């Protein structure tokens, strides 16, 4: 007869199984989805991170680098070379604020604004390539948005285990 009053200690080997991790399917899905974007963006001469930054600019330009960092969830040292490349391609203009030269303002050039029209087919083509019912896609995005909101509220390096 088993004593049910004593909880069983968790088997740490089970916790270390790859198929039990939340992080791995998120990582794998991110890589696979990004890979699906490649053939859609390559004819436009864009990488996936450049496409993300352009989508932010199409909504919010002109805006500061710090605004893009926040929305794209990228580090400044990742974003700066990306913005330099977009500037070399003629899609954005970087200017220092006259009030505070530490602040860099990003605006779209005419070519950057016109690129939006050429990218209009990307979201539809991407969703079609996923072959996922629209309801599941909407539900998944909602769950991911909720997860991101939660993760953004957890201080970096904090121990989230209950005592």
pLDDT over 70 (residue 114): yes
Residue 41 pLDDT grade (very low, low, confident, very high; cuts 50, 70, 90): very high
Residue 66 CB partners (closer than 8 Å, separation 6+): 76, 103
Q: Which is higher by pLDDT, 52 or 14?
A: 52
Kindly state whether residue 150 falls inside one of the protein's structural domains. Answer: no
User: Could you tell me the CATH number of the domain that includes residue 91?
Assistant: 1.10.10.10
Six token digits for residue 131:
């072959």
**pLDDT score, position 15:** 85
Distance (Å, rounded) from C-alpha 33 to C-alpha 64?
28
pLDDT over 90 (residue 7): no
Query: How many helices and strands, by DSSP H and E, does the chain display?
Result: 8, 3
Kindly state whether residue 157 falls inside one of the protein's structural domains. Answer: no
Kindly state whether residue 1 falls inside one of the protein's structural domains. Answer: no
pLDDT tens, residue by residue, 23-40: 999 999 999 999 999 999
pLDDT tens, residue by residue, 128-155: 999 999 999 999 999 999 999 999 999 8
Residue 94 pLDDT grade (very low, low, confident, very high; cuts 50, 70, 90): very high
Kindly state whether residue 155 falls inside one of the protein's structural domains. Answer: no
Kindly state whether residue 85 falls inside one of the protein's structural domains. Answer: yes
Kindly state whether residue 154 falls inside one of the protein's structural domains. Answer: no
**pLDDT score, position 156:** 80
* Domain span at 104: 22-137
Distance (Å, rounded) from C-alpha 22 to C-alpha 28?
10
pLDDT (mean) for 51-75: 97
Torsion of CA 86, 91, 96, 99, to 10 degrees: -140
**pLDDT score, position 145:** 97
Tally the domains of the chain. Answer: 1
Kindly state whether residue 59 falls inside one of the protein's structural domains. Answer: yes
Measured CA angle at 132 (ends 130, 137), to 5 deg: 105
**pLDDT score, position 162:** 46
Kindly state whether residue 151 falls inside one of the protein's structural domains. Answer: no
Residue 11 pLDDT grade (very low, low, confident, very high; cuts 50, 70, 90): confident
């Amino acid at each position: 007869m088993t004593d049910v009053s004593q909880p069983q200690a968790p088997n740490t080997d089970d916790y270390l199984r790859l198929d039990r991790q939340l992080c791995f399917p998120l990582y794998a899905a991110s890589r696979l989805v990004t890979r699906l974007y490649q053939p859609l963006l390559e004819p436009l001469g864009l990488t996936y991170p450049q496409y993300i930054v352009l989508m932010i600019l199409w909504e919010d330009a002109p805006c500061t680098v710090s605004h893009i960092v926040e929305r794209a969830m990228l580090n400044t040292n990742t974003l700066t070379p990306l913005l330099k490349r977009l500037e070399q391609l003629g899609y954005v203009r970087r200017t220092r604020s006259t009030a505070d030269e530490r602040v860099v303002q990003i605006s779209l050039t005419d070519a950057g604004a016109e690129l939006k029209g050429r990218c209009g087919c990307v979201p539809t083509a991407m969703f079609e390539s996923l072959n996922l019912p629209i309801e599941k896609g909407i539900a998944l995005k909602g769950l991911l948005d909720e997860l991101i909101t939660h993760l953004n509220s957890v201080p970096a390096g904090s121990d989230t285990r209950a005592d």
